[in-house]
Structure 1
Amino acid sequence: MYKDLADAIESLKDKGFDHTYELGNNCITCKELDVEYTVDDLKIVETHSFDQGTDPGSESTVYAIESKKGVKGTLIMSYGMYVDREKAKLIDRLLKDQN
């Protein structure tokens, strides 16, 4: 669908996902709004993974996320050998709650 991570981010911004989410310790934060969310406050709307070649550091996933109050944003997470396992557990819980 998208040719690369930058293309995905721009397209998602066009869809209203204009905030940036980051993984924190036991929460997901929106830096622009200075708000912390629990997994229960958010839902993943879209997920897109990218592998830009043979460099293991270039593997990433962008999550289009919406809060219960309608705040839309994206969260980018690298995966593979560079993933922070504790923070990845938050995404795993969020994905599990979607099913």
Structure 2
Amino acid sequence: MAHAAPIPQMKTLNACLDKMVEQGYVENFRAAEGGLQSFDSDKIYGAKDINIVNFYRFEGISNPDDNSVLYVIETSDGKKGTLIDAYGAYADPEVAKLIVEVEEIQKQKDFSPGGRPK
């Protein structure tokens, strides 16, 4: 699977999101009961069907309430898109739960029981 290229010095969420769209990450996702839902098709992806290829955090210049994170996601059926959430006190608990599940699955795929990469 191709990975999102690093984006040096992306200072705003909108600039980073525009760059991701240019790279083909056009699907819009949201956390839903049971996983990650595509706004475009309403399909729900379970944690095992999601790969977080990158993420970017942004801090509000004058207001901590503006803190956000952009997740760059690829699905098992080839969809590429993004998920935006607040972070800190205003983070969506459903997004946090999903991200933890995806990270745990990715850790299990990346390492053997002895702790060595497969």
Q: TM-score, structure 2 length as denominator? A: 0.77
Q: Using a 3 Å threshold, how does the CA distance of structure 1 residues 86 and 69 change in structure 2: closer, same or farther?
A: closer
Work out the number of aligned pairs and report it. Answer: 99
Q: 2:71 aligns with which of 57, 63, 68?
A: 63
Deviation at 1:57, TM superposition (A): 1.5
Query: Where do 5+ consecutive residues of structure 2 fail to align?
Result: 1-7, 108-118
Change (3 A) 1:86 1:22: closer
**Which protein shows a greater Rg?**
2
For 2:95 and 2:54, the matched residues in 1 are separated by: 19
Match of 2:103 in 1: 95
Unaligned runs of 5+ in 1: none
Runs of 4+ in 1 over 2 A off after TM superposition: 84-87, 95-99
- With 88-97 and 5-14 compared, the bigger mean Cα shift is at 88-97
Q: 1:29 is matched with which residue?
A: 37
The SS at the match of 1:20 is strand
Give secondary structure in 2 for the equivalent of 1:45: strand
TM-score (norm 1): 0.91
Q: Higher relative contact order by CA 8 Å / sep ≥ 6: 1 or 2? A: 1
* CA deviation map 1:71-97 (0-9, x unaligned): 000000101111222431111222333
